[in-house]
Amino acid sequence: MQLIDSARATRHELARARATLQESRADKEPMVGQAPTLLRALEHVHMFAQSDYPVLITGETGTGKELVAKMLHAHSARSAQPMVAVNCAAFPETLIEAELFGYRRGAFTGAFADRDGRFKAAHNGTLFLDEIAEMPLSAQAKLLRVLQEGTFEPLGSNHPVKVDVRLVSATHRDLKERVQAGAFREDLYYRLKVLSVHVPPLRQRKGDLPLLVEHFLSRAQGSGASRTISPQAMAAINAYPFPGNVRELEHALQHAGVLADGKTIEVTHLPEEIGGRAPAGQQAAPEGGGGTVPLPAAMEAFERECLVAALLEAGGARTRAAQALGISRKNLWQKLRRHGLLEFTGAQEPGPTDSDLDSAIQAH
């Protein structure tokens, strides 16, 4: 009976996940997830979109900083105007100023005609400067003037050009450390960080893994790639830390989906660094295809293991375990009850009883 109830609860949870995905797509929201850390960041994004102040987006590589920038623009009063993106790390020091501010004919060798820069192209819209920490100091001084006065001078010109641009920047580096190292202007740092959004890494929103896997597999529809995954493959994904974050997860599923060739994704289809981390005894599916199941059934197999791993890593501290999983403590208690783990703490102390759980849930 307990197994039947668990399967029914898992199907219900996945149905809600799919409904959440459909709702986010209907709202044209590019970010997928329900972890509290992500939801807080997205709440700030919607609030900041109504302002024209500069926004600094921080977060590790692959967390979705450019998606946040697009959301800021899409929900702003400037959404009908252009959003122009520049990767500051993609241009050498000798070219970044010309790229941003443009130049006049004869400003340097090869400048045969006038050319508007990215600031002029983003007039009345949004300019997104990705990898802002890589901008050379010479360009930083000119950028500071634009933020202070709303004007700049193209290379080879003494005539200021006035622009109305909402500036959004992003970096995976610690800008304070760059300031201390003398590689980034302190006055520019504070100008850029009037408003700030931190995009959490995937390891801080483990509870979003099923939703993200469902999202990326559903996007494979029509491409010939697989849309189902085995419990063993899901367990390997859950065990992997994903230093490349959501982008790495997406690429891993694309890789696995192509190798699976329309069949169920198994551990062997995943990139080696992920597939090699499957829990002991789960590297291979049983003979006869018994381990090949759709994603809803795979969820039941890996969720219990995810809960146990989180409690062990947190030393039994349930608040820390819930935070690591990206779920509320109340939700953690409900999942522990469903999986028969109420007495398991991961530490040398007794776990809460059913009456403790009922009291806690009623209190919330």
CA separation (Å) from 281 to 232, 267, 297? 9, 12, 18
Contacts of 27-33 spanning 24+ positions with Cβ under 8 A: 28/74, 29/71, 30/64, 30/67, 30/70, 30/71, 31/64, 31/67, 31/68, 31/71, 32/208, 32/211, 32/212, 32/215, 33/205, 33/208, 33/211, 33/212, 33/326
Q: Which residue has the higher pLDDT, 261 or 304?
A: 261
User: Residue holding tokens 């490349």?
Assistant: 244
Angle at 167 between CA 166 and CA 168, to 5 degrees: 120
Residue 304 makes CB contacts below 8 A (sequence gap 6+) with 339, 341
For the chain, what is the mean pLDDT?
81
Average pLDDT rounded to a whole number, residues 177-190: 96
Please provide residue 119's backbone torsions phi and psi, each rounded to the nearest 5 degrees.
Answer: -65, -45
Which residue type, as a one-letter code, is found at position 77?
A
pLDDT of residue 163: 93
DSSP for 128-169, please give it.
EEETGGGS-HHHHHHHHHHHHHSEE--BT--S-EE---EEEE
Average pLDDT rounded to a whole number, residues 221-248: 84
Coil/strand/helix, residue 87: strand
User: Which pLDDT band holds residue 310 (cuts at 50, 70, 90)?
Assistant: confident
Helix runs in 206-338, H state only: 209-219, 231-239, 245-260, 272-275, 295-313, 318-325, 329-338
Residue 115 makes CB contacts below 8 A (sequence gap 6+) with 98, 102, 103
Please provide residue 27's backbone torsions phi and psi, each rounded to the nearest 5 degrees.
Answer: -85, 0
Coil/strand/helix, residue 263: coil
Residue 80 pLDDT > 80: yes
Residue 33 pLDDT > 60: yes
Residue environment code for 164-186, b if the CB has 16+ CB neighbours within 10 A, otherwise e: ebbbbbbbbeebeebbeeebbbe
Q: Which residue has the higher pLDDT, 87 or 280?
A: 87
pLDDT of residue 201: 96
Span 48-72, pLDDT tens digits:
999 999 999 999 999 999 999 999 9
pLDDT of residue 231: 84
Q: Of the ranges 2-11, 230-239, 332-341, which one carries the lowest mean pLDDT score? A: 2-11
Residue 244 makes CB contacts below 8 A (sequence gap 6+) with 61, 62, 251
The secondary structure element, H or E, covering residue 97 is helix 93-101
User: Which pLDDT band holds residue 19 (cuts at 50, 70, 90)?
Assistant: low
pLDDT of residue 244: 96
The secondary structure element, H or E, covering residue 3 is helix 2-26
Q: Please tell me what DSSP assigns to residue 346.
A: S
pLDDT of residue 16: 53
Nearest-CA neighbor of 309 among 248, 253, 235?
Answer: 235
Residue 171 pLDDT > 90: yes
Residue 289 pLDDT > 80: no
Let me know: does 195 contact 168? Beta carbons within 8 Å: no
Q: Which residue has the higher pLDDT, 307 or 65?
A: 65
The reported pTM is 0.73
pLDDT of residue 29: 66
Span 257-280, pLDDT tens digits:
888 888 889 999 999 999 875 554
Residue 12 pLDDT > 50: no
Burial class (CB in 10 A: 0-12, 13-18, 19+), 302: buried
User: Which pLDDT band holds residue 352 (cuts at 50, 70, 90)?
Assistant: very low
Q: Of the ranges 149-153, 187-191, 303-307, which one carries the lowest mean pLDDT score? A: 303-307
Residue 86 pLDDT > 70: yes
Length of the chain: 364
Q: Which residue has the higher pLDDT, 126 or 116?
A: 126
Please provide residue 349's backbone torsions phi and psi, each rounded to the nearest 5 degrees.
Answer: -155, 150
Average pLDDT rounded to a whole number, residues 65-89: 96
Q: Of the ranges 22-36, 289-303, 312-326, which one carries the lowest mean pLDDT score? A: 289-303
Span 210-231, pLDDT tens digits:
899 988 988 876 666 667 888 8
d(CA 255, CA 270): 7
Average pLDDT rounded to a whole number, residues 105-120: 78
Q: Domains in the chain, ordered, with CATH?
A: 2-22+203-314 (1.10.8.60), 36-198 (3.40.50.300)
Q: Which residue has the higher pLDDT, 309 or 37?
A: 37
